[in-house]
Chains A and B, each alone.
Chain A
Amino acid sequence: MTDPNTESPLDLETPDKTFLDSNELVINMGPQHPATHGVLRVILRLDGEKVLGLECVIGYLHRGVEKIAENRTYTMFNPYVDRMDYVAAISNGLGYCEAVEKLLSVEAPPRAQYIRVILTELNRIASHQLWLGTHALDIGAITPLFYTFRDREEILKIFEKYCGARLTTHAFRIGGLQYEAYDGFESDVKNFVSFVKPKIDEYEELLTTNRIWLERTKGVGVISGKDCIALGVTGPVLRASGVKWDIRKALPYANYKNFDFEIPTGQNGDTYDRYIVRMIEMRQSLRIIEQAVGGIPEGPIMAKVPKVMKPPVGEIYHSIEAPKGELGYFIVSDGSTQPYRVRVRPPSFVNLQALDLMCRNQLVADVIAVIGTLDIVLGEVDR
């Protein structure tokens, strides 16, 4: 990708050569490999254990989400977006609902905005927890996985109480919310915040200063901020490379401008920095939740939207900061009840393009670490 001179690993025929006499060994990882987070297939070109280059083969989970959108009304398409990044379904829903709201020129009432922010940030924490558990598991630490899943469970319980679903929640509606916050929602969220704060310290205790963790992550999968921007990489990966870009601050959506939080950045752009950035992001999310849960205003939860939505002819691009990076929706309306075209800019898909660059001249074991640190969800990559 960055070096046009290297031929594609797919072109290599594999003659009857062994490790010694050939400089290159082509190895296929996946799509059923335990460490590729679903059905990613990676074709590695190796010299010994050193990676000369790799190519991702995707599409094993393709369901045609974008095409489906063209045959559904705006409301009917809403649940489908949950199935893209299924570990951060609420963020997907937020992005879609806000994009359509923008197209319809309506705005969700403040109370709905607050509850949306709380749920989205909770979902960000859940997504990061799942990332941390699986990433640590890939590097060989089993225990963090169980810790993070224990605490993620509390978040899922709140979701379940709120809307009845745990994973693909379909929590938001175009124009606001369907459900009023249940009784005790605020105290549940407050309890969760005080519950999870020491738990994040617990994860860090296991990993942050662990010598082996440091050796496995420092200087691994380094990518510079310039390369990140060139490849369109966003989210924690971009921020760990030192670029202070967070859509919540840069192009505020929902009511994020009302909240006080910081954007963590790293310097080295290696796996360790990405880990630290995500850990701080979890804490910042808690900070946002604390502020939001104290100030939920009274009022309606649904804006006035027509029963049959017919947005005016035009197009809109709206992006939000999903846990994995910039999640954008590009919607073209032809004035009918169904969108003419929906294009999703999934952060995982774009971030995955950096894998080849980050893995060059690293070892095979680092590929696993880098795939983990990119935090991809194949449902979103393939759509």
Chain B
Amino acid sequence: MNPSVATNPPVATPFFFYGLAAVMVIGGILVITRKNAVHSALALITTLLAQAALYLMLYAPFVAGVQIILYAGGIMVLFLFVIMLISIERASKERQFNKQCLVGIAAAAALGGLLIAVFTTTSKGQMMFAEGPTSYVESQNTQAVAGFLFDRSTGMYMFSFEIASLLLLVAIIGAVVMAKKRI
């Protein structure tokens, strides 16, 4: 019941990583280029699901589950709902990019350049974040996460968790106040 990583190393990691990474990047590009918002949303869902798979490869099954259930199953449904409620017929025929799009692309390019510069100056040809050989206890992941969030002795994020619930409450009320026609 408790397979250690040593006996069962992950198979074909590079294959899956590059495949999923390609799916994510292509999905991301589709998100920001499609005219039709529904197509964008579907592309984003693909990206999110690929990312959930990457979480599994990073030994974070609980985060992957939360990603699927909340992001793909919850938030994106909300997005699709809203897209269907507002008219997109007209929006997809109009100009898609705003006036400052060139400036925006330039700024993004600058940001990309900055990232590359940071990477090249800090790594200096060395391997960054070299990992030690460790076994990741995947089968106890959920319990460990729960320990951080709820446990009496190890639950250092318990307070943050409560704050997060408060944030969600505020968000619910805010969304209702914003979207309801007559309160």
Contact = CB atoms under 8 A, between A and B. Distances in A.
Contacts of B89: 16
A19 to B, nearest CB: 6
Contacts of A18: 85-87
- Interface extent on A, as a size class? under 10
10 smallest beta-carbon distances between A and B, as pairs:
A18-B87, A20-B85, A19-B85, A20-B86, A18-B86, A18-B85, A16-B89, A16-B87, A21-B87, A16-B90
Contacts of A19: 85
Interface of B is mostly: loop
- Interface extent on B, as a size class? under 10
A19 B86 CA distance: 8
Interface in A14-69: 16-21
Contacts of A21: 86-87
B49 to A, nearest CB: 29
B3 to A, nearest CB: 49
Interface string B87-102: 1011000000000000
A18 B90 CA distance: 11
A14 B124 CA distance: 66
Nearest to A18: B87
Contacts, number: 12
B16 to A, nearest CB: 42
Interface in B77-128: 85-87, 89-90
Interface of A is mostly: loop
A77 to B, nearest CB: 56
A18 B86 CA distance: 7
Nearest to B82: A20
A20 B86 CA distance: 6
B168 to A, nearest CB: 25
Contacts of B90: 16
Given A18-B86, A19-B85, A21-B86, 4 more contacts: A17-B87, A18-B85, A20-B86, A21-B87
Contacts of B87: 16-18, 21
12 contacts: A16-B87, A16-B89, A16-B90, A17-B87, A18-B85, A18-B86, A18-B87, A19-B85, A20-B85, A20-B86, A21-B86, A21-B87
B81 to A, nearest CB: 11
A349 B102 CA distance: 67
Interface in A298-316: none
Contacts of B86: 18, 20-21
A253 B85 CA distance: 59
A18 B87 CA distance: 6
A355 to B, nearest CB: 27
Interface string B66-83: 000000000000000000
Nearest to B87: A18
B183 to A, nearest CB: 16
A21 B88 CA distance: 13
B175 to A, nearest CB: 15
A16 B90 CA distance: 10
Interface in A100-123: none
Nearest to A19: B85
Contacts of A17: 87
A19 B85 CA distance: 6
Nearest to B179: A20
A34 to B, nearest CB: 25
Contacts of A20: 85-86
A17 B94 CA distance: 17
Nearest to A20: B85
Nearest to B85: A20
A367 B70 CA distance: 37
A16 B85 CA distance: 13
Contacts of B85: 18-20
B78 to A, nearest CB: 15
A20 B88 CA distance: 12
A49 to B, nearest CB: 14
Interface string A179-204: 00000000000000000000000000
A105 B18 CA distance: 98
A324 B148 CA distance: 70
Most buried by B among A16, A19, A20, A21: A20
A339 to B, nearest CB: 58
A342 to B, nearest CB: 53
A21 B85 CA distance: 9
B162 to A, nearest CB: 35
